[in-house]
Chain A
Amino acid sequence: MIRVCGVEDVPLGEGRAVLVGGTRVAVFRAEDGWFALDAACPHRGGPLADGIVARRTVICPLHERRFDLATGQERSSGSYCAAVHRVEVRGQDVYLEAPPDRLDDLTLAASTERSA
C-alpha cells in the first residue's frame, strides 16, 4: 500500500483527490470512517472529491448523483457504480492500495485473449 497523506490533510466530512499509479482516486474522511473511490464520477466525470459527504455517501457536485462510499453503487437507482479502492489508516498516516495499472490490465486482457 502507498501512503497518500496524513490524517489531517483531509478535513473531516470532506474528500480530496490524489493520483496513484495512473489512477485519480478520491479519498474521503466520512463520519463512518475513511473511504476511497475513483475520483471521476461514473455519470459525467464530475470531481467526487468535491462532493458533499454524509455518514457513508457522497453527492457529486455536478449533477447530484449520490454514491455509497463503501460499495461505490449509486444509491437507489443503481445506474452507475464508482470503482472502490482499499484505504487504511495506520496511526496518523493514510494508505491506499495501489490501483492496478490500467495499461497493464489492457495488455493482460489482450494477451489472454490471444492465448485463448
Chain B
Amino acid sequence: MSGPGIVVVGGGIAGQGVVEALRDRDREVPITLICGEPRLPYDRVRLSELLASDEGPDALTLRPEEWFADRDVRVLTDRRVARISLEGRAVELEDGETLAYAQLVLATGSRPLLPPIPGIDLAGVYAFRGPEDCDAIRLAAASPEVCSAAVIGGGLLGLEAARGIVAQGCPVTVVHLMGRVMERQLDAGAAELLLPRLRELGVEVLLERETVAIVGDERVQRVRFRGGKELDADLVVVSIGIRPEASLARETGLRCERGIVVDDEMRTSAPEVIAVGECAEHRGVVYGLVAPILEQAKVAAATLLGRPGGPYRGSVPSARLKVAGIDLVAIGAAEGEGEAISVDAGAGIYRKLVVRDGVAAGAVLLGDVRGSEALLAEIAAAEPVPDPLARLAAAAALGPEDLPDTAQICNCNTVAKGELIAAVTEGGCATPREVMARTRAGTGCGSCRASVIAIVAAATGGLNDEPAYLCACERQTREELAAEIREGGWRSVGEVAQACRTGRECGACKPALAYLVSEVNDNLHREERHARFINDRVHANIQRDGTFSVVPRIHGGVVTPDQLRRIADAADKYKVPMVKVTGGQRIDLLGVRKQDLPAIWRDLGMTSGFAYSKAVRTVKTCVGTDFCRYGLGDSIGLGIEMERAWEGLHTPHKVKSGVSGCPRNCAEATVKDIGVIALEDAWQVRVGGAAGGSVREGDVLCTVQTRAEALRVTTAFLQYYRENAEYKERTYDFVPRVGLDQVREAVLGERSSAALLERLRIAKAATRDPWLERDAPYHPRQFGDLDEALEDEPSLVGPPADGGL
C-alpha cells in the first residue's frame, strides 16, 4: 500500500461498515481504521446479551484479526485522534503520530448522556456503553454486597440492562421519566403489555419519576426523586440516551447541529470528509439503529470511491429487538390516523399496523413478529392498504418460506432471502453457520437467526441442526470424537490430541475432552490433569480471590455431631473466613488457601462433596417417615442410598437431586435434575427440573412401586445422561432436546436399562475419593507454588510415570 488513502476514525459498527463496503468494491485503496477502544470493532448492539451471560467481549468481535490482515486494512486499536488538519489533510493522534489522508471518514459514534445531578460521580454508578461498563455492572450485580439495583431510563437499553442485572441475581427497579417505557418504539398499548412481563422477570418499573439526585457516602446508597421520595440501590446504571460524538468535528470547524451535518452523499461541509453513523445528522435526523447506519456506510463507500451508489434519502426506521426475552419489531410510525390492532393480553401478544393517507406507514409487533419482513417491505414501498386488519392477519400467516426472495431477512446487514438461498445453492454452504459467515446475516443484533436457520433448512432440504462442536477450533463433535476414541482405543487426552489435534490450539475444550475420554473408557482412562479445570486439579472450588472453598460430602443432608465438631475445629484451625450452610444441605468452608487443602481434608476426615465439579452433587432430602407426621416414604433412606450409589461420578454438567417424602415436596424434588417424590404406596420419578438461572418443572419419567425400583430407574437415567448429553448441557436442556419418549425408551426398557446400570457399575467401581490425594498427590507440587522450590535443590521427583504427558 502506498500514498495517503482513506482514514476511518471510529471502530464501531459504522466504521467497520464503511471498511467492509469499501473492500467489497475496491481491493486496492489503502485503508486505515483507527479504533479508540483497545479492541477490534465489535457488535455493540449485542452488549446487553453479554451482560446477561458469562461470555467475554470477544464473543462480540465482528471480524477476527486475520480478516483485516487478509484485506490489507491497517487497524490501530486503543488510539485516539487529537486533532484534524483540513489544510494539511492529516490527523494527529493523541500519542503524536500523524497520519496523512486523501479522504477522511468520521464514524465517531455517540456517548452516553449523563444527567448533571448530584452524586452522578459516586462509586457504583455506571453508564452502559462499552464492555468495560458491562464487566463492571456484571461484577457489581453478582457481588454479595449489592442487594438492589436501579436503572435510570426505561428505553430499550435500560430495559436490557435491567434484564442483565436480574440475570446476575440482583433485584432491579427501572426508573423512567415518561409515562410509558420505550416511548420511542412503542405505543401506549404495547408498552402497557410489556409491564407485567417485566415484573414476571423480576424487573420493577416506576414510571413518571424524575431522578434528581444519587445519594451515598462514597458508594451509592439511594436515588432520590423529585418530591423527595427515595429508592434504595447500591448499584445504579444510567441509560437515559445518547448524544452524537461530534466534538472532534466541531473543533475542526465542520458544520454541526446535533450531529455532524451531512448531505445525501454523506459528505460533511468539507467535501473530502465523510461522516457516517450515530455521529452524523442527515436531513435533521440522527440514526441510532444498525440498518440505516449500514445503508449510510454503503453510500459513503460509493462516494469515497467516486462511484454511483447514493444518494442516501433516509431510512424507514425499523428495529427488530428482543426486549426482556420478548420479540419486538417496530417499523416506521408507531401511531397514525388509521390503526388496526390485534391483542392477546394473556399471551402477551400485540400487533398493530399503522396507516397514513391510505398507505402502510408503520407497525408494532410484540410477542408475535410473524410477517414482519413482509410488512417492512410494504411500509418501505408505501403500499396502499385498503383493509389494514385483514392485512395484519394475512401477514401473521406468512412464515419465512412464504416470503419473496427480495424480502429482507437481516435488517442489520441488509441481507435478502434470495442471498441466503444463493449462499446454499451457489456458494456451497451447508449449514446456517456457514451461511451466516458468508452473508453476515444474523451477525448483527442476532434477532433474525431463527428465520435464517429456517430458510437455510428449507434450502438445504431439511438439514436443520447446527452441530454443537466439542472442539470449535477443529470443528469436531462429541459423537465424532467418541467414535475416534473407541476406534483408536485412546485412553488419554494426550493421545486424542496427538491423533486428532483436539484441544491443542486454544485449550478451551480440554475439560470437555477429558470428560469424554473418561466416560468412553468407563473411568479406566489415563488421567491428565493439565486437561482439567483448576477445580478438578485440586478438588476444590476456586473463588474470586484465588482461594478455594471446601465442601465435604454429607449424604442426604444428614450429619453427625462428631462431623460438625470436626468441621468447626477445621474452620478454627485454618482461620476459614466464612462458613456457610449451602442450599444443598451441606456446609461450605470458604476462603481456604490452596496449600492448606490437603491438611484440612485430613482434619475433616470426610470425603469430597464434589461441589467444585461437573459431577453428582447433592441429594437433598426432607425428613421423611422417621419424624415427620406427614411422611409417606423414607426419603432420607432413599436419598442417602442414591447419593452413595452415585458419589464420585463425573457428569456432563452438575447433577442436583432431591427426594421428598410426600407430595408437600419439601425437598423441592420437582425442580431437581433428578427428583423423587413419595406418594401413597408409590414413588414418582422426575427428571430435567431446574430452579436456578432458568426454572423448569421436571418431567415425570415414571411412577414405580418400590424404593428399589426408584433407585434403579434414577440410576439408569443418570448413566443415560452421562453417555448422551453434550458437555455443559444440564438435564433440563438435555431431556427436552432428546425428548421424553426417547429417554423413557432407554431408561425403562428392560435390556437397555440393564446395560446402562452395568456400565455405571463399572465406571463407579473405578472412582475413588479425590481428597485421598492429600496423601498420594498426583504431582509433588499439585497444591503448591514454586516459592518453596526456590529454597530446594533441583527436585529429583518426577510426575508419576503413568500420569504425565
Contact = CB atoms under 8 A, between A and B. Distances in A.
Given A5-B786, A46-B546, A54-B505, A77 B804 contact: no
A25 B449 CA distance: 44
Interface in B62-95: 64-65, 77-78
Interface string B520-544: 0000000011110111010000101
A59 B534 contact: no
Contact of A12 (B508, B795, B804): B804
Contacts of A46: 546
B799 interface: yes
A16 B781 contact: yes
Given A44-B139, A46-B546, A52-B507, A75 B58 contact: yes
Interface in A58-87: 58-59, 61-66, 75-80
Interface residues of B, number: 53
A22 interface: no
A66 B509 CA distance: 13
Contacts of B776: none
B786 A54 contact: no
Interface string A88-99: 000011000000
- Give the one of A4, A11, A54, A80 with max B CB within 10 A: A11
Contacts of B78: 78
A29 B450 CA distance: 44
B306 interface: no
A12 to B, nearest CB: 4
A83 to B, nearest CB: 16
Nearest to B38: A79
A59 B546 contact: no
Contacts of B529: 11, 14
A49 B787 CA distance: 13
A73 to B, nearest CB: 10
Contacts of A57: 506-507
Contacts of B785: 16-18, 49
Contacts of A12: 530, 799, 804-805
B542 A79 contact: no
B65 to A, nearest CB: 7
Nearest to A14: B530
Contacts of A3: 790
Interface string A36-62: 000000011111011111110111011
Contact of A53 (B507, B784, B799): B507
A76 B65 contact: yes
A11 B790 contact: no
A13 B781 CA distance: 14
A34 B77 CA distance: 29
Nearest to A63: B56
Interface string B137-155: 0010000000000000000
Contacts of A17: 785-786
B530 A50 contact: no
B624 interface: no
A50 B794 contact: no
B781 A11 contact: yes
Interface in B751-805: 779-781, 784-787, 789-790, 792, 794-795, 797-799, 804-805
A59 B493 CA distance: 18
A9 B781 contact: yes
B511 interface: yes
B789 A4 contact: yes
Contacts of B442: none
B725 to A, nearest CB: 21
A50 B534 contact: yes
Contacts of A54: 503-508, 510
- Give the one of A12, A55, A76 with max B CB within 10 A: A76
A44 B138 CA distance: 13
B786 A9 contact: yes
B798 A76 contact: no
B139 A51 contact: no
A76 B531 CA distance: 23
Contacts, number: 136
Nearest to A24: B785
A78 B79 CA distance: 13
B39 A5 contact: no
A6 B789 contact: yes
Contacts of A92: 794
A31 interface: yes
Contacts of A44: 139, 544
Contact of B786 (A4, A45, A77): A4
A5 B794 CA distance: 7
Given A49-B785, A76-B40, A93-B794, A55 B530 contact: no
B504 A31 contact: yes
A4 to B, nearest CB: 6
B786 A10 contact: yes
Given A5-B786, A52-B510, A76 B504 contact: no
B61 interface: yes
Contact of A9 (B504, B508, B530, B795): B795
A55 B131 CA distance: 28
- Give the one of B58, B135, B535, B795 with max A CB within 10 A: B58
A6 B795 contact: yes
Contacts of A16: 781, 784-786
Nearest to B508: A59
Given A5-B786, A13-B528, A46-B546, A77 B61 contact: yes
Contacts of A76: 40, 58, 61, 64-65
A58 B785 CA distance: 17
B789 A13 contact: no
A31 B798 CA distance: 18
A78 B40 CA distance: 8
A31 B805 CA distance: 10
B63 to A, nearest CB: 10
A19 to B, nearest CB: 6
B57 interface: yes
Contacts of A61: 533-535, 542
A3 B131 CA distance: 40
B805 A13 contact: yes
Contacts of B54: 63-64
A8 interface: yes
A5 B790 contact: yes
Contact of B795 (A8, A18, A47): A8
Contacts of A51: 534
A77 B64 CA distance: 9
A44 B537 CA distance: 22
A55 B544 contact: no
A50 B56 CA distance: 19
Contacts of A65: 56
Contacts of A58: 507
Given A19-B787, A79-B131, 10 more contacts: A9-B795, A14-B537, A18-B790, A54-B504, A58-B507, A64-B54, A66-B508, A77-B42, A77-B61, A78-B77
17 contacts: A6-B792, A6-B794, A9-B786, A11-B530, A11-B799, A12-B805, A18-B785, A18-B786, A27-B786, A44-B139, A52-B511, A57-B506, A61-B533, A61-B535, A63-B54, A63-B56, A79-B39
Q: Which 9 residue pairs of A and B lie closest in terms of their CB atoms, listed nearest first?
A: A13-B530, A54-B507, A18-B786, A6-B794, A50-B534, A5-B789, A47-B546, A12-B805, A6-B795
Interface of B: 38-40, 42, 54, 56-58, 61, 64-65, 77-78, 131, 135, 139, 503-508, 510-511, 528-531, 533-535, 537, 542, 544-546, 779-781, 784-787, 789-790, 792, 794-795, 797-799, 804-805
